[in-house]
Amino acid sequence: MNIGKSVRLERIFNRNTGRSIIVPLDHGTTVGPIAGLVDLRETVNKVAEGGANAVLMHKGLPRCAHRGHGRDVGLIIHLSASTTLSPFPNAKILVGSVEDGIKLGADAVSVHLNLGDESERDMLRDLGALRQEGEAARADAELVLRAYEVWGEDCLRHIEGDFALIRKRSKALIQTDARSTNMPLFQA
């Protein structure tokens, strides 16, 4: 297992027991506003202090839930949704991407599948598409790192894109030419 995956999993699972308490906070999309859930930052703080290892939410919530203090808690971005208002409430569709999860700093992404539902094949197709997207994102990271291995700091003349590259030993930032603050950060 690569180190990045290990680090992310350790934010979700207790290192000593291998167990995890994950608190879902994604119900607002499905059922609408939930009574008593007013301050998402405070809610996340309470579940973290209560021993939760991670919270699961849709992509719009992290900016309302990020605390910047307190006990660390893993973040899982939920990529599928449906509503109880639909005539097909079990037919989950994709509302996010692996890239959304990466940009939000997620430790993992999740997808809800209702196996046996008449829309099962669509949900499984979406899952397959996400798998391919995740592999493409990893391929981009590998491309940047391979370019650095071949050309060193001169690699910046050979590749284009929104990314930052940091030299691991000195922790020196080599380039940050992204138009967004949510760029992937690669260590060489």
Q: What is the pLDDT of residue 73?
A: 94
Q: Is residue 162 part of a domain?
A: no
Provide the 10 A C-beta neighbour count for residue 1.
Answer: 6
State the CATH number of the domain containing residue 95.
Answer: 3.20.20.70
Query: 131 in helix, strand or coil?
Result: helix
147: which residues sit within 8 A by CB, 6+ positions away? 155, 158, 159
Q: Is residue 163 part of a domain?
A: no
Structure tokens at 15: 């290192």
The answer to whether 25 touches 61, Cβ cutoff 8 Å, is yes
Number of domains in the chain: 1
Q: What is the pLDDT of residue 184?
A: 47
Q: What is the pLDDT of residue 68?
A: 86
Give the structural domain span for 35.
3-112
Structure tokens at 11: 């934010």
Q: Is residue 58 part of a domain?
A: yes
Predicted TM-score of the model (pTM): 0.71
Q: Is residue 175 part of a domain?
A: no
Q: Is residue 12 part of a domain?
A: yes
Q: Is residue 129 part of a domain?
A: no
Which pLDDT tens digits describe the chain residue by residue (188 residues)? 678 788 888 888 988 988 999 999 988 888 888 887 778 999 999 999 999 999 999 998 888 888 888 898 999 999 999 999 999 999 999 999 988 988 898 999 988 888 889 999 998 998 888 888 777 766 566 666 666 666 776 766 666 665 555 555 554 444 444 444 444 444 44
Q: What is the pLDDT of residue 54?
A: 93
Q: Is residue 187 part of a domain?
A: no
Q: Is residue 7 part of a domain?
A: yes
